[in-house]
């Protein structure tokens, strides 16, 4: 340690841990709600112009903008103007891989359960269920507005392209995406690969919203099926994909879903589980995600060894783990 650098007190380190990220999330959420990124898409604007366009209080709006510029979201330009940055541009609703829905999902869906984390630690019950009186996915079925926020976030952002760029999906004739949401992954697979036909499988209310797969470019190679993966999944495909699904469930439930995939395929089929794995390289991200899963659901993050165990119970072996810049791909084969 250099003699000139005063050591940061542990209290100051704790202070840094305690408050900034909370206020950053809310500031980004406020900016997304006011659609500031859309307004600044083509040219910088003064605070007064932005206040007029949004109906906001100019004196408060400028403080919001200055706070956001400090983390690279928008930039202050000469003459009291604010402009777009690469980060703020991701908040436009029509930006490629827009992060708008992610800016909403934290405050709208995850915030209250996270604030009851200690309830979950004391009881083992997801805080979500103690607050809303029903499991997360049942709640989404009864609350279309919340479902719209969740499904929009799942269908956007940076997690799909790394999978499509890394793995050869063109080797398959038919791919079923189990719990595929609104079909963002299948849409990307179909656009990048001429060979496969695809089946989107999710709860009936959810697949109703799969607008992307009803576009002319892909509709002819895609079937949309509503159902319950605890009952069965569409049979006979040569590949089954489960992305960000298994982590929502406890081991018994996860084995049930995997076993239903096993029953649906023949001995030459391939199962692809796309998940962030708990490992040293992704430790912090996986550990925090694990807490979120704990307050929202009975699910969890798992290590490779933990995946091996549940896969084995369902009649699969883990053939290889393929890292991507997004989730890892666990390529599994029937045994
Ligand atoms: N695979 C998508 C969505 C992951 S979220 C993605 O990675 O973006 C988990 C998905 O599981 C949701 O779309 C949810 O609707 C679906 N799901 C939850 N319970 C289900 C059930 N019983 N049967 C079928 N799908 C279900």
**Residues 37-56 pLDDT 10s:** 999 999 999 999 999 999 99
Integer Rg of the chain from CA: 22
The one-character DSSP state at 90 is: T
Q: Best of 101, 102, 176, 179 to mutate for ligand 1, by most ligand atoms within 8 A of CB?
A: 179
Full DSSP string of 173-206: SEEEEET-TTSHHHHHHHHH-SS-EEEEEE-HHH
Cα of 94 vs centre of ligand 1, distance in Å, is: 24
Between the alpha carbon of residue 84 and those of residues 48, 69, 214, 283, 319, the distances in Å are 16, 10, 33, 33, 45
Task: Measure the CA–CA gap between 170 and 10, rounded to whole angstroms.
Answer: 53
Q: At residue 5, does pLDDT exceed 70? A: no
Separation of 44 CA from ligand 1 center, angstroms? 40
Catalytic residues, which ones? 247
pLDDT tops 60 at residue 2: no
Task: pLDDT band for 4, please (50, 70, 90 cuts).
Answer: low
Least trusted range by pLDDT, from 21-30, 120-129, 294-303: 21-30
Say if residues 109 and 149 touch (Cβ distance below 8 Å): yes
* Residue with CA at minimum distance from ligand 1 atom 11: 179
pLDDT exceeding 90 applies to what percent of the chain? 86
Percentages (nearest 5) of helix, strand, coil residues in the chain: 50, 15, 35
- Residue 244 Cβ inside 6 Å of ligand 1? The answer reads yes
Ligand 1 pocket mutation pick from 137, 185, 213 by most atoms within 8 angstroms of CB: 137
| Distance (Å) from CA 317 to ligand 1 centroid | 23
Ligand 1: centre distance to CA 320 (Å)? 24
- Strand-pairing partners, residue 241, are 177, 272
If you take atom 3 of ligand 1, which residue's CA is the nearest one? 181
pTM above threshold 0.85: yes
Please name the residues in contact with 57: beta carbons below 8 A apart, sequence gap of 6 or more: 51
What percentage of the chain reaches a pLDDT higher than 70? 98
Sheet containing 270-275: give its strands across.
222-226, 197-202, 174-178, 239-243, 270-275, 328-334, 316-322
Q: In whole angstroms, how far apart are CA 206 and each of 146, 152, 217, 228, 274? A: 12, 11, 21, 11, 20
DSSP 6: P
- The mean-pLDDT minimum among 73-77, 225-229, 276-280 falls in 276-280
| pLDDT tens for each residue of 133-146 | 999 999 999 999 99
Please answer whether residues 75 and 83 qualify as being in contact, where contact means their C-beta atoms are separated by less than 8 angstroms: yes
Whose Cα sits closest to atom 14 in ligand 1? 179
Could you tell me the CA-to-CA distances from 42 to 16, 47, 89, 92, 321 in Å, in that order?
35, 15, 11, 12, 43
Atom 4, ligand 1: residue with shortest CA distance? 244
């Amino acid at each position: 340690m250099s003699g000139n650098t005063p050591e940061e007190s542990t209290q100051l380190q704790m202070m840094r841990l305690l408050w900034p990220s909370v206020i950053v999330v809310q500031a980004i959420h406020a900016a997304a709600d006011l659609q500031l990124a859309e307004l600044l898409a083509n040219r910088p604007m003064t605070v007064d112009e932005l206040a007029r366009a949004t109906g906001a209080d100019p004196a408060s709006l400028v403080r919001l903008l200055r706070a956001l510029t400090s983390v690279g979201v928008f930039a202050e330009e000469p003459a009291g103007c604010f402009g777009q940055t690469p980060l703020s541009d991701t908040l436009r609703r029509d930006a490629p891989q827009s992060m708008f829905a992610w800016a909403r999902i934290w405050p709208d869906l995850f915030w209250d359960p996270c604030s009851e984390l200690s309830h979950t630690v004391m009881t083992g019950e997801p805080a979500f269920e103690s607050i809303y009186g029903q499991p997360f996915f049942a709640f989404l079925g009864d609350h279309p507005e919340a479902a719209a926020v969740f499904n929009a976030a799942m269908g956007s952002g940076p997690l799909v392209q790394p999978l499509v760029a890394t793995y050869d999906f063109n080797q398959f004739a038919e791919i079923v995406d189990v719990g595929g949401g609104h079909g963002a992954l299948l849409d990307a697979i179909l656009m990048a690969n001429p060979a496969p036909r695809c089946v989107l499988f999710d709860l009936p209310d959810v697949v109703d919203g799969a607008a992307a797969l009803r576009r002319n470019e892909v509709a002819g190679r895609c079937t949309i099926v509503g159902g319950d993966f605890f009952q069965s999944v569409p049979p006979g495909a040569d590949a089954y994909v489960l992305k960000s699904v298994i982590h929502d469930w406890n081991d018994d439930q996860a084995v049930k879903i995997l076993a239903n995939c096993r029953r649906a395929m023949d001995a030459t089929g391939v199962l692809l589980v796309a998940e962030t794995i708990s490992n040293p390289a992704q430790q912090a991200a996986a550990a925090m995600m694990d807490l979120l899963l704990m307050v929202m659901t009975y699910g969890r993050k798992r290590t490779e060894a933990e995946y091996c165990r549940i896969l084995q119970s369902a009649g699969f072996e883990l053939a290889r783990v393929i890292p991507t810049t997004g989730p890892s791909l666990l390529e599994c084969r029937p045994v």
